[in-house]
Structure 1
Amino acid sequence: MNLLNIVSKNDYLSNAANLLGRVGLSVIFILAGMNKIQYFEGNAQYLASGGLPEFLLPLVIAFELIGGLFILAGALTQLTALAFAGFCVVSALVYHNNLADQMQFFMFFKNIAMAGGFLALASTGAGRFSVDHKLAKSA
């Protein structure tokens, strides 16, 4: 067995890992979108604290919820993953740029790590267990 390709050379493991990765990447945004609805006023103020207008909050919520569900389902995965990678980097730069604060330091690099995960997902696509796969198969 070649340990260097233990997942990529096994079709089932590769597709299962892709699905689990999509679950992990999507759930934080689905939950964040739901949180923003539940605590709308506080989140609007937080958005404004970064210099962005509060009226953008419904768009952020829609992006997090719909985009998160797209990633979870594996629908339009490559485009959605690229959008999320950009979103993660921008939010890191705007909201977590005080690297002297330990919590902000970790939040900044959490966002950068998620951007890396989304770029990896964009490069591989959603895999077999996805809407994208079903659509490509029927085309």
Structure 2
Amino acid sequence: MFNPNVVVKNLVQGSQSDAFISLIARVLMAYIFIMAGWGKITAYNATVGYMESMGVPGMMLPLTILVEFGGGLALLFGFQARLAALGLAGFSLITAFLFHGGAEDAINFMKNMAMTGGLLFLMLHGAGKFSMDNMLEKPSV
């Protein structure tokens, strides 16, 4: 019997395909965090004002930038990717409720929840072959 799931699995399960798809997935997950962190750096005062208007102390912005920008870069390069993915998953979940909990912002709430799921999957499976983690974890000869 024809099973499309098995067909797709057979197409992407080779080691090179797996490595390439893992890299693409990691880059796409990293992109939103790097851009968001950079936006907060370049619009620092406006971001402080927004955070404070949402009841979050502005003094939390440096930590927010570190998590977003630093965590995004860690994902991009696959460096401590499991830890970065776990931290960003927690961050995405918290910010979903703090900043996107209202009915008028449901799409961003759902986006954050979806990112949380993707990041937890990355935490579970790791950065893949094309990553700093892979290079560092290889036993030296």
TM-score (norm 2): 0.90
| 8 Å CA contact retained: 1:85, 1:116 | yes
Q: Which one has the largest radius of gyration?
A: 2
Measured against aligned partners, the alpha-carbon deviations of 1:43-71 in whole angstroms (never above 9, x if no partner) come to 11111122211011011112111111000
User: Helix, strand or coil for the counterpart of 2:128?
Assistant: coil
| 8 Å CA contact retained: 1:23, 1:72 | yes
Aligned CA-pair RMSD: 1.5
| Match of residue 127 from structure 1 | 128
4+ runs deviating over 3 angstroms: none
How many angstroms does 1:7 deviate by? Answer: 5.3
User: Helix, strand or coil for the counterpart of 2:138?
Assistant: helix
Tell me how many residue pairs correspond in the alignment: 136
Runs of 5+ consecutive residues of structure 2 not aligned to the other structure: none
Residue 33 (structure 1) aligned with residue 34 (structure 2):
no
Distance 1:8 1:124 in 2: 16
Residue 15 (structure 1) aligned with residue 19 (structure 2):
yes
| Match of residue 110 from structure 1 | 111
Identity %: 36
Distance 2:131 2:76 in 1: 8
How many angstroms does 1:14 deviate by? Answer: 1.0
Distance 2:67 2:88 in 1: 9
Measured against aligned partners, the alpha-carbon deviations of 1:13-61 in whole angstroms (never above 9, x if no partner) come to 1111111011111111111111111111111111112221101101111
Measured against aligned partners, the alpha-carbon deviations of 1:74-133 in whole angstroms (never above 9, x if no partner) come to 01111110111110010000100112x1xx110000000000110110111001000000
5 Å-filtered alignment, 1:42-121, equals: 42-99=46-103, 101=104, 104-121=105-122
User: Helix, strand or coil for the counterpart of 1:51?
Assistant: coil
TM-score (norm 1): 0.92
Distance 2:57 2:79 in 1: 30
